[in-house]
Amino acid sequence: MPYQQRRDYADSADGEQITLATVYRLPRPQTPSAPDVRGFAHLTAEQVTALGDELDGIRAKIVDSLGQPDADYIRRIIGLQRGLAAGGRVVLFASLFPPAWLAGTAMLSAAKIIETMELGHNVMHGQWDWMNDPEVHSSTWEWDTACPADEWKHSHNAIHHVYTNVVGKDRDVGYGVLRMTPDEKWQPVHLAQPFVNAALAMFFQYGVALHDLEIERVLRGQKGLRQTLGQGLHIANKIRKQITKDYVVYPLLAGPAAPAVLTANMTANMVRNLWSYMIIFCGHFPDGSQTFTEDELENESRGAWYLRQMLGSANIEGSPFFHLMAGNLGYQIEHHLFPDIPSSRYAEISEDIRALCAKYDLPYTTGPLHRQYGQTLRTILRLSLP
């Protein structure tokens, strides 16, 4: 489970021998309005340990309370998603008529978003493994997107969630194509960053699929070509299946409506790509979210790991419907603290996390979607320049 990976990593460090400098030595904020981390110097080693103990207590309380209502929730969401997908496909068979095309495309777009965000992402974090139900187990779920589940679980669970926002370790900082922190040396290629960002947003599922190839490591001779080719063939096979399903099989089944179904599938995939890109980028790059250096991992305790997750993540405010469509990643802080806790519990957990932030005088970075993405886009544009 992802949490076990995380705990193995944390327990391998020297438990309590930390200083604030070890927690966070980089005083440079990502954006001009981000808080200066030297303001957290009031935290002693004992307080960081106490913070970790309190967060462990919050997790234990939720784990102990998991039961039938939680199982009912995930099964309802699966039923909703499948109903939207099936209904959208049926309506699209009549998509020679524009109203049917719009309705079918909207239903299919919503189904793909829910399957990617609230189901695929969260199931593969092991959030529902406690049910011992093969249908919602992290080891068996394969999602409806271009990236194979095993490749994503490595790059996301084992890398991103362990080394969150650590420049040089967390490859989600810019996804290998964007300069998202001034600590990365500017190169002339970054002038194209606004256009690269737009392409990444539109074709996000393919960017995620290719992410774990780590091409930059191959070019530096740090990763074998044979391993990379094997991964590439594995990814290409998944992409082939997805393209065949959406752009060949379903259009052919629609008969005379094949062109309309083809454009509807392309539109639904594009909508899902843009939405998932926006939600994910808003989780780590708005003002207030911090990046870290590799040497700050030295002797990182459990409490310091928790603190890094809190400082490196940002929430998005919204309605219950918004949070469902966002896979509950509007609660990114809570998700990074407890990635294997069911996402439906994050709203409840957020009240305790806010109280802890107030108690320890820590920031709780949150804001509406338009503001969080506006700040993220500003960073992308600004860091395209020297």
Query: Which tens digits make up the pLDDT trace of 266-278?
Result: 999 999 999 999 9
Decide: helix, strand or coil at residue 126: coil
| Mean pLDDT, the chain, whole residue set | 87
Spatial distance between the Cα atoms of 327 and 13, rounded to a whole number of angstroms: 32
Cβ contact 296:165 at 8 Å: no
Query: Which tens digits make up the pLDDT trace of 213-242?
Result: 887 777 777 778 888 899 999 999 999 999
Query: Which tens digits make up the pLDDT trace of 92-103?
Result: 988 888 899 999
Kindly report which listed range (6-15, 96-105, 169-178, 293-302) carries the lowest average pLDDT score: 6-15
Q: Which residue from 110, 114, 92 is spatially nearest to 102, judged by alpha carbons?
A: 92
Q: How many CA atoms lie within 13 A of 59 on its CB side?
A: 18
**How much is the average pLDDT of 155-182?**
90
Instruction: Identify the pLDDT of residue 318.
Output: 97
Instruction: Write out the residue range of the structural domain in which residue 365 sits.
Output: 2-382
Residue type, 41: A
Spatial distance between the Cα atoms of 133 and 141, rounded to a whole number of angstroms: 11
Number of domain units in the chain: 1
Spatial distance between the Cα atoms of 368 and 3, rounded to a whole number of angstroms: 29
Instruction: Identify the pLDDT of residue 214.
Output: 80
Cβ contact 174:30 at 8 Å: no
pTM, two decimals, is 0.87
**How much is the average pLDDT of 114-143?**
97
Instruction: Identify the pLDDT of residue 205.
Output: 95
Whether 23 has a pLDDT exceeding 90, the answer reads no
Q: 134-157: buried (b, 16+ CB within 10 Å) or exposed (e) per residue?
A: eebbbeebebbbbbbbebbbebbb
